[in-house]
Structure 1
Amino acid sequence: RASRETGIPNVTVWRVLRKRLHLKAYKLSIVQYLTGADKVVRKEFCMQMFHRIQNNEKFLHSVIFSDESTFHVSGKVNTHNCRIWGSENPRVSLEHVRDSPKVNVFCALSKERVYGPFFFMETTITGSVYLDMLQEFLIPQLDEDDQEGRIHFQQDGAPPHYLGEVREYLNTRFPGRWIGRAAPIAWPPSSPDLTPLDFFLWGFIKD
């Protein structure tokens, strides 16, 4: 923009910004839109977590964060990080398949270990499908690791998680110790940045 408005070549503008003004280029971050109500709920949740950690500095060690993500079978290439060095341009290209097959993946994460990945056979995750995964895959592993009943299970507010049978099951398995929508510990909506799977793991794997 500066080059266009001043008529100065891009290269010159970049040189001035970097060498004379000692500025650096930063990428724009795309974040979740939050309403005023969202911000209030997020603040309340964070303050609640803060007080829990004050009372027990190892509280977060007991939290199992969980989430699902969709992966395209054809994969994704980050062209910004993919460079081929040589004396000539090899003109390498990669074919992209439109509407390629995809798979839904579940994973849970604690301080100590990763639970998963679990690959759903179904193309759509319903509440019943999600509940089956909890009962057959995740909970048996958590039971082995949590003999004293200290684990706090977290899930976001996705529709499959809100199914009555799912919430009843979690109330039975984690009485007063699960985090989510309509849970004993309410999970704030529009908050992917508060779970390590969303703000780190999925992006790291897909990049």
Structure 2
Amino acid sequence: MSERSVRRIMKNDLGLYPYKKVIEPLLSDDQKLKRKQFANWVRTNFRKEDTLKILFSDEKMFDIDGVYNTQNDRVWAVDRADADKNGGTQQKRKFPQKLMVWLGACSKGLTPLVILDEGTVDHTVYIEKVLPVALKYGNQFFGSDWVFQQDGAKPHSHHLSQKWCRDNFPTFIEKDRWPPNSPDLNPLDYSIWDQLVNNINWNKVYSKTTLIKELKLSVKKISESVVFESCACWTNRLYRLYQNDGSYLR
């Protein structure tokens, strides 16, 4: 039987459709339990209006080759050679220039990007360059009544970073509280980073300098409504997580 016949039977006779496999973290039973415990802790200790005073934070790595979707990025042409002449190839460097950036997000807006491109980001760099920015803009957004969030990355969980947070932030989610392997619980990961990436004009990125310029322009294009809705739906996501036995949320 030909491939065309198989596709016709699958689609027309059986009513089936092809779907791409979705990549998501593999969660252990222990990690699922910790996620449920976190959701229950938030539900017990925070009112809805309190969760809107959380400053979420995250780091993300970018390189100058950009981001593209191999499934959706198509070039219409009469043949492969014609496609190649009209942008049908995506070249990637073997060792592209990379940099890491940090961003904070809350119901009232975004912090400025912090560019972390000077080697390894350890707890010393994190304390000197990132945490003061989080403190400044958290206070600017909410005064003295707000909560700082960070994940369990090593620079965050280092005892000196934790001490800095205890000494300076009104409140923060400590290292043993935030559940591991849970990017689906951070508005930056499930919404805002995608918005930033889609705003970048990758045709203008050809060096680390131009990448930094585009990142700074792109973060300013993220609408206030997107940021607010991303944070406002957080408690609903926690409810879904609890009802779903701690499984990963899409």
TM (normalized to structure 2)? 0.70
* Kept after mapping to 1: 8 A contact 2:76/2:83: no
- Residue 39 (structure 1) aligned with residue 32 (structure 2): yes
Q: Which has the higher contact order (CA 8 A, sep 6+)?
A: 2
Q: CA deviation at 1:205?
A: 4.3
The number of residues matched between the two structures is 193
User: 124, 127, 135: which is aligned to 1:131?
Assistant: 127
> Moved runs in structure 1, 4+ residues, more than 4 A?
203-207
Percent of matched pairs sharing the same residue: 26
User: 162, 165, 176: which is aligned to 2:160?
Assistant: 165
Distance 1:28 1:50 in 2: 33
Cα distance per residue 1:99-136 (max 9 Å; x no partner) = 11100010111122121322113221110101112344
1:4 is matched with none
Q: CA deviation at 1:167?
A: 0.9
User: Which protein has the bigger strand share?
Assistant: 1
In the TM superposition, 1:72-91 aligns within 5 A as: 72-87=63-78, 89-91=82-84
* Kept after mapping to 1: 8 A contact 2:123/2:155: yes
1:3 is matched with none
For the pair shown, which has the larger CA radius of gyration, 1 or 2?
Answer: 1
* Kept after mapping to 1: 8 A contact 2:63/2:98: yes
1:30 is matched with 23
Distance 2:106 2:156 in 1: 19
1:19 is matched with 12
- CA RMSD of superposed structures (Å): 2.1
In the TM superposition, 1:60-99 aligns within 5 A as: 60-87=51-78, 89-91=82-84, 92-99=88-95
Counterpart residue type for residue 99 of structure 1: F
- Residue 49 (structure 1) aligned with residue 45 (structure 2): no
User: 45, 51, 58: which is aligned to 2:49?
Assistant: 58
User: 70, 92, 99: which is aligned to 1:103?
Assistant: 99
User: Which protein has the bigger helix share?
Assistant: 2
Listed as ranges, the gaps of 5+ residues in structure 2 are 199-250
> Alpha carbons of 1:205 and 1:145: their partners in 2 closer, same or farther (altered >3 Å)?
closer
